[in-house]
């Protein structure tokens, strides 16, 4: 995979607050402790159960295969004795066997969910006992949660992914088409571990957003799909479902296995077309306002809740002489600015389509009926356009070429005080202690215009199964889809650097919440019904509407057209496109 295609080269990040790391630390400690004890007394008797479980769990977390022979060799007791003890552990559900060949004569060994749970709890207890006995300041601080509610939360800690008892039955690799963003790059970095989980090799191909759409559409017209799973941006769902590019998931798997109620409501709703789920949220990443808490505090400013307050804060924090600007946002021509315009319209209470109102916003659940038309030229849309024009004076000089990554990089470096950005881009400042914004960022939903509500427009990607997949690969693709979008997998992505999360259970995991304040902030927005997907409605024509808005608004920002003229032209072009498609 080319990791440069999405405009990002991901740096490896090693996090300490995670169950995997804690277990490995305790396993290492126990191994060293046992060596010391062996040196203390000349006579000793190894415990084969402990030795084999220690070896098995460690190899599992390191994504290394374990055979019966290697496990017996790690037991420290004679072969016959070790074989009996291993069989006892299998019979008691502590060890699971997975066939390595079609004959079933050769198999690998893996810790069961029960064994992993036991080691997770044991590791936490060992650290607490060490803190209580030896008075380590760091460990003592970590034990406070135990006495003030941590023991309750600990029961909700999500365990590492379990290996499938039966490896996926595929000819060749499991093939996945994805976007080249930080979350999917994390998945690529975990490739070896997931290969162990699913029991086959994984080939992941990544593209930038426009090239991803091009390749996914091209793939849909091939006689047989080149991919088993494809990622698609949320607004593309209508196009892919309406044109028959994706399989409805309720026809190929038991949807309840996906635990639908665990997904953020807006993300799960956005996966449906015509009442059917066509994909599973792989990442739910709302666009938020990132702001420098320290800079606002120094200026005596409150975090901006409205567009007027944001403009005032941007004006106060804008200092071009010192090389600092008030705000950065998506203003590059085409797709990037088109998204910005749509979401800014939503900030002023104007959807890009004539959607019916409902509590909390607008109803985008019946778009498959086809009863809609673009609304680009309106009073509230003009207010949104004027707001973008006002932002220009507090933005960096290169704002008209800034898109997804370019707007967050200057924010991370300290060149910009505020920025609109998706949560998936937070690693730029959260995982780089050397950058100016590290540890100083607050998160808000979009500031709202007059008489409008604060919302956080939902972005992100779904994983779906191509309709033209080879029939013999369908069952394996469905199982892989469940694995890659499971709470266990989602937590693993977060632990290795992702800042997207589509599930309530992962956001509530105490280990996840310790990694970043962004998860608690997004969960709170979801409970307040601020996460909304209607700002980017997933109709088949949405890509054309985004492109039209992005082109006309760019002319507006360059001063070539007035806001009224730009929006009128965008409306005319969108209406003409809809008429040609037979939709008006």
pLDDT band of 380, cuts 50, 70, 90: very high
- Average pLDDT, integer, range 473-497: 95
**Any alpha helices (H) in 321-393, and if so which ranges?**
335-347, 379-392
pLDDT of 125 reads 74
- Average pLDDT, integer, range 5-10: 34
Query: Residue 112's closest CA among 123, 120, 104?
Result: 120
Three-state secondary structure of 43-95: CCCCCHHHHHHHHHHHHHHCCCCCCHHHHHHCCCCCHHHHHHHHHHHHHCCCE
Distance (Å, whole) CA 315 – CA 326: 6
C-beta of residue 119 within 8 angstroms of C-beta of residue 22:
no
pLDDT of 556 reads 98
Distance (Å, whole) CA 369 – CA 316: 47
pLDDT of 575 reads 96
Q: Is the pLDDT of residue 12 over 80?
A: no
Q: Is the pLDDT of residue 13 over 60?
A: no
Encode pLDDT of 286-307 as tens digits. Answer: 999 999 999 999 999 999 999 9
The share of the chain scoring above pLDDT 90, in percent, equals: 60
Query: Who wins on pLDDT, 314 or 167?
Result: 314
- For residue 23, what are the β-bridge partners? none
Encode pLDDT of 508-551 as tens digits. Answer: 888 899 999 999 899 889 888 899 999 999 999 999 999 999 99
Three-state secondary structure of 132-155: HHHCCHHHHHHHHHHHHHHHHHHC
Distances (CA, A) of 83 to 68, 77, 88: 8, 10, 9
Mean pLDDT of the chain: 87
Encode pLDDT of 104-149 as tens digits. Answer: 677 888 888 888 878 877 777 777 677 666 654 444 444 343 333 3
Q: What is the DSSP string of 221-269?
A: TSSS-S-SEEEEEGGGHHHHHHTT-B--GGGTS-GGGG-GGGB-HHHHH
Encode pLDDT of 57-102 as tens digits. Answer: 887 776 677 888 888 888 888 888 889 999 999 998 889 887 766 6
Distance (Å, whole) CA 248 – CA 8: 32
Handedness of CA 53, 56, 57, 58 (dihedral sign): positive
pLDDT of 103 reads 64
pLDDT of 152 reads 33
Core vs surface per residue 38-49: b (16+ CB within 10 A) or e:
eeeeeeeeeebe
**Any alpha helices (H) in 401-541, and if so which ranges?**
408-413, 427-430, 474-484, 487-495, 504-508, 510-515, 517-527
Q: Give this prediction's pTM.
A: 0.74
Distance (Å, whole) CA 456 – CA 118: 39
Distance in Å from the first CA to the final CA of the chain: 42
H-run or E-run covering 204? strand 202-207
Encode pLDDT of 400-433 as tens digits. Answer: 999 988 999 999 999 999 999 999 999 999 999 9
């Amino acid at each position: 995979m080319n990791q440069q295609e999405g405009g990002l080269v991901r740096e490896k990040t090693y996090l300490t607050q995670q169950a995997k790391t804690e277990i490995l630390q305790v396993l290492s400690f126990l191994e060293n402790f046992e060596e010391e004890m062996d040196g203390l007394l000349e006579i000793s008797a190894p415990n084969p159960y402990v030795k084999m479980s220690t070896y098995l769990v460690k190899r599992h977390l390191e994504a290394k295969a374990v055979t019966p022979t290697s496990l017996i060799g790690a037991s420290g007791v004679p072969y016959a004795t070790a074989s009996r003890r291993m069989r006892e552990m299998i019979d008691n559900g502590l060890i699971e066997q997975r066939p390595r060949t079609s004959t079933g004569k050769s198999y690998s060994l893996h810790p069961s969910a029960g064994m992993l749970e036991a080691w997770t709890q044991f590791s936490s207890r060992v650290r607490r006992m060490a803190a209580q006995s030896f008075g380590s300041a760091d460990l003592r601080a970590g034990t406070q949660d135990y006495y003030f509610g941590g023991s309750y939360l600990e029961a909700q800690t999500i365990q590492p992914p379990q290996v499938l008892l039966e490896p996926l039955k595929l000819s060749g690799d499991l093939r996945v088409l994805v976007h080249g963003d930080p979350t999917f790059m994390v998945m690529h970095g975990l490739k070896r571990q997931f290969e162990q989980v699913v029991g086959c090799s994984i080939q992941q191909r990544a593209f930038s957003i426009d090239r991803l759409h091009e390749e996914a559409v091209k793939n849909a017209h091939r006689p047989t799909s080149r991919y088993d799973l494809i990622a698609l941006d949320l607004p593309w769902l209508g196009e892919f479902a309406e044109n028959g590019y994706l399989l409805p998931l309720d026809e190929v798997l038991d949807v309840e296995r996906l635990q639908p109620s665990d997904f953020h409501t807006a993300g799960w709703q956005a996966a449906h077309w015509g009442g059917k789920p066509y994909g599973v949220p792989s990442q739910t990443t709302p666009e938020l306002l990132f702001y420098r808490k320290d800079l606002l505090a120094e200026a005596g400013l409150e975090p901006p809740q409205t567009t007027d307050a944001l403009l005032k804060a941007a004006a106060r924090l804008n200092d071009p002489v010192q090389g600092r600007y008030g705000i950065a946002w998506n203003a590059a021509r085409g797709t990037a600015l088109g998204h910005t315009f749509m979401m800014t319209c939503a900030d002023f209470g104007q959807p890009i389509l004539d959607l019916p109102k409902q509590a909390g916003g607008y109803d985008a659940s019946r778009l498959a009926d086809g009863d809609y038309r673009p609304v680009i030229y309106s009073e509230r849309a003009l207010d949104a356009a004027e707001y973008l024009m006002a932002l220009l004076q507090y933005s960096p000089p290169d704002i008209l070429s800034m898109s997804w990554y370019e707007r967050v990089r200057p924010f991370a470096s300290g060149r910009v005080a505020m920025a609109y950005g998706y949560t998936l881009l937070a690693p730029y400042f959260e995982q780089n202690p050397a950058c100016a914004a590290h540890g100083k960022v607050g998160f808000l939903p979009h500031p709202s215009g007059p008489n409008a509500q604060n919302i956080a427009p939902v972005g992100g990607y779904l994983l779906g199964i191509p309709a033209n997949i080879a029939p013999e690969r369908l069952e394996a693709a469905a199982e892989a889809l469940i694995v890659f979008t499971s709470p266990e997998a989602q937590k693993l992505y977060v632990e290795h650097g992702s800042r997207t999360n589509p599930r309530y259970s992962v956001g509530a995991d105490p280990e996840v919440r310790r990694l970043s304040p962004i998860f608690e902030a997004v969960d709170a927005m979801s409970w307040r019904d601020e996460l909304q997907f209607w700002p980017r409605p997933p109709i088949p024509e949405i890509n054309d509407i985004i492109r039209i808005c992005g082109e006309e608004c760019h002319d507006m920002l360059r001063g070539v057209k007035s806001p009224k003229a730009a929006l009128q032209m965008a409306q005319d072009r969108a209406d003409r496109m809809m008429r040609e498609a037979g939709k008006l």
